[in-house]
């Protein structure tokens, strides 16, 4: 298998191209690295026909066989881990360490999700009747993914969808379709034809999926704005939806931590993947007692971090993934400069090839500054001073988002009390971004609808079905 060329879609277990193609760039060099099929209605219809045809056979397979095939997906990823990591760096920009984290996570997910089982609930088992609720697959699922973690976020959808007995059509972001197309290709001899289909195309293709009459569910990760459009469009056919959307996570640092000890971890909490992470720490609330010391440590640590082409050795932070996002981040920085906000570090974006933004840290801007209110999705972090715990909880919750958050303290029970008051789906204490296939991941408020991972995430790919059986002889 050639990972550097021949990018085809996978429909019904075979390679399919499209009448149109689209270019894919390397964000570190702005060079075109591939042409990929740009699918339209015709190719989508073919994928839906293939997925529908595969559904009866797949959904009727014993669950243990589906579990084994989900595990086999992971084994195949493991065989090609090195090639996929290289490809991910080329199309996404992330350094090798980030690509390794993503692939390793995807492989662990395959191993662990393969162990999950759909529960059966007996609500009544009396002399009169049994009442049993089981969970049946929905049919054809559409997965629409973003450009920040293309492999892992697709895997989070594919595994539970297939395990529950659905067939699936995956549409990666037009900015990062390459690794997903190759995963489709490498699964052609792992899964029966039509069970996993991968189509590439622009936002219009995503839109076509959301109102397709023969797709029963959309599982989407991306921006809140697109999530709202999907919800609207999916309403026409009453599709089930799972939406994992944007965030503006607060990290709250209490005065009892040692700034020297936590600075490195808090830096990466904010800047991992060049801050293109839905649950990056995006507003850092620091207690006034340690504000100066922690900001000093953060800036000193930031100066040791190397920004550059992710394929080069020693690089810690890669570029912004695409020009659209690059322009958005530059605009946010320009606004901060225009408003006279003070930068402790960075703030300027040098000219040159590649979408590189140096780490920027803003010194205690007002809570209503754009750099605080908006999700930057780039390496721009506001440090916000606080001195009252009740007040900082109110400020942390004062956002339309509710994805994640973190609390940092020498006293975990004090941190826990604050964590319980945060309006978001995941809160980490004294660490961050520790995910588990068996723990829910979900957004409160405008960060999403539904759940990924855990049994709750698996159930999102099913319909509940209750069977009531009366225990009375119907024959003499």
Q: Which residue has the tokens 């995941």?
A: 426
Distance in Å, CB of 222 to ligand NAD, minimum: 3
Out of 369, 403, 419, 458, the residue judged to bind ligand NAD by CB under 6 A: 403
CB 51 within 8 A of CB 9: no
Annotated catalytic residue: which of 244, 297, 375, 460? 244
> Is 148 an interacting residue with respect to ligand NAD (CB under 6 A)?
yes
Give the E-state strand segments of 262-369 in sequence order: 281-287, 343-345, 360-363
Q: Tell me the three state secondary structure of residue 236.
A: coil
Stretch that binds ligand NAD, among 94-102, 140-148, 186-194, 429-437 (CB under 6 A): 140-148
Distance in Å, CB of 326 to ligand NAD, minimum: 12
> Is 93 an interacting residue with respect to ligand NAD (CB under 6 A)?
no
CB 79 within 8 A of CB 157: no
Stretch that binds ligand NAD, among 41-49, 121-129, 199-207, 468-476 (CB under 6 A): 199-207
Out of 347, 375, 380, 428, the residue judged to bind ligand NAD by CB under 6 A: 375
> Is 249 an interacting residue with respect to ligand NAD (CB under 6 A)?
no
Distance in Å, CB of 439 to ligand NAD, minimum: 14
Q: Which residue has the tokens 């995807």?
A: 106
> Is 142 an interacting residue with respect to ligand NAD (CB under 6 A)?
no
Active site residue 82: no
**Which of residues 271 and 291 has its CB atom nearest to ligand NAD in the complex?**
271
CB 196 within 8 A of CB 13: no
Say how far apart CA 408 and CA 426 lie, in whole Å. Answer: 14
Residue nearest to ligand NAD (CB): 206
Say how far apart CA 99 and CA 105 lie, in whole Å. Answer: 10
Rounded to a whole number of angstroms, the CA Rg of the chain reads 23
With CB under 6 A as the rule, give the number of residues binding ligand NAD.
28
Distance in Å, CB of 166 to ligand NAD, minimum: 19
Query: Per CB under 6 A, which of residues 265..284 are in contact with ligand NAD?
Result: 278
| Pair type for strands 404-408 and 249-253 | parallel
CB 407 within 8 A of CB 281: no
How is residue 108 written in tokens?
A: 């662990």
Say how far apart CA 220 and CA 227 lie, in whole Å. Answer: 7
How is residue 203 written in tokens?
A: 């936002």
Write out the catalytic residue numbers: 244
Interface contacts to ligand NAD, rule CB under 6 A: 144-148, 171, 173-174, 203, 206-207, 210, 221-223, 226, 229-230, 244-247, 278, 375, 377, 403, 443, 448
């Amino acid at each position: 298998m050639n990972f550097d060329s021949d990018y085809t879609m996978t429909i019904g277990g075979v390679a399919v191209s499209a009448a149109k193609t689209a270019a894919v760039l390397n964000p570190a060099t702005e060079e075109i690295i591939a042409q990929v099929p740009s699918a339209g209605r015709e190719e989508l219809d073919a994928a839906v026909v293939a997925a529908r045809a595969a559904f009866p056979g797949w959904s009727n397979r014993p669950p243990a066989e589906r579990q084994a095939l989900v595990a086999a997906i992971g084994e195949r990823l493991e065989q090609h881990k090195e090639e996929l990591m290289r490809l991910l760096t080329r199309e996404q920009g992330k350094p090798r360490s980030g690509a390794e984290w993503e692939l390793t996570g995807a492989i662990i997910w395959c191993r662990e999700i393969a162990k999950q089982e759909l529960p059966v609930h007996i609500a009544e088992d009396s002399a009169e009747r049994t009442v049993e609720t089981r969970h049946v697959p929905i049919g054809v699922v559409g997965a629409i993914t973003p450009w920040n973690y293309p492999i892992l976020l697709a895997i989070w959808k594919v595994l539970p969808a297939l395990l529950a007995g659905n067939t699936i059509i995956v549409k990666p972001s037009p900015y990062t379709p390459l690794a997903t197309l190759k995963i489709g290709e490498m699964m052609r001899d792992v899964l029966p034809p039509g069970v996993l289909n991968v189509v590439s195309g622009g936002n219009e293709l995503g839109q076509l999926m959301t109102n397709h009459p023969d797709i029963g569910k959309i599982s989407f990760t991306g921006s809140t704005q697109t999530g709202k459009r999907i919800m609207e469009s999916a309403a026409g056919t009453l599709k089930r939806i799972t939406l994992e959307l944007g965030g503006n996570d607060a990290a709250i640092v209490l005065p009892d931590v040692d700034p020297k000890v936590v600075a490195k971890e808090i830096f990466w909490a904010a800047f991992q993947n060049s801050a293109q992470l839905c649950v990056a720490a995006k507003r850092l609330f620091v207690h006034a007692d340690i504000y100066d010391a922690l900001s000093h440590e953060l800036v000193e640590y930031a100066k040791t971090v190397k920004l550059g082409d992710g394929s080069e050795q020693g690089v810690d932070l890669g570029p912004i993934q695409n020009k659209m996002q690059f322009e958005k981040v530059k605009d946010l920085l320009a606004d901060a400069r225009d408003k006279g906000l003070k930068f402790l570090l960075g703030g300027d974006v040098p000219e040159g090839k590649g979408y590189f933004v140096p780490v920027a840290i803003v010194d205690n801007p007002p809570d209503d500054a754009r750099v605080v209110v908006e999700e930057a999705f780039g390496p721009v972090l506001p440090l916000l001073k606080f001195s009252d715990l009740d007040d900082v909880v109110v400020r942390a919750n004062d956002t339309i988002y509710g994805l994640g958050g973190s609390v940092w303290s020498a006293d975990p029970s004090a941190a826990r009390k604050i964590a319980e008051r945060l309006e978001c789906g995941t809160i980490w204490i004294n660490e961050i971004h520790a995910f588990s296939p068996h723990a829910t991941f979900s957004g409160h408020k405008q960060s999403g609808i539904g759940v990924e991972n855990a049994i709750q995430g698996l159930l999102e790919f099913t319909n509940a079905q209750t069977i009531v059986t009366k225990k009375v002889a119907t024959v003499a």
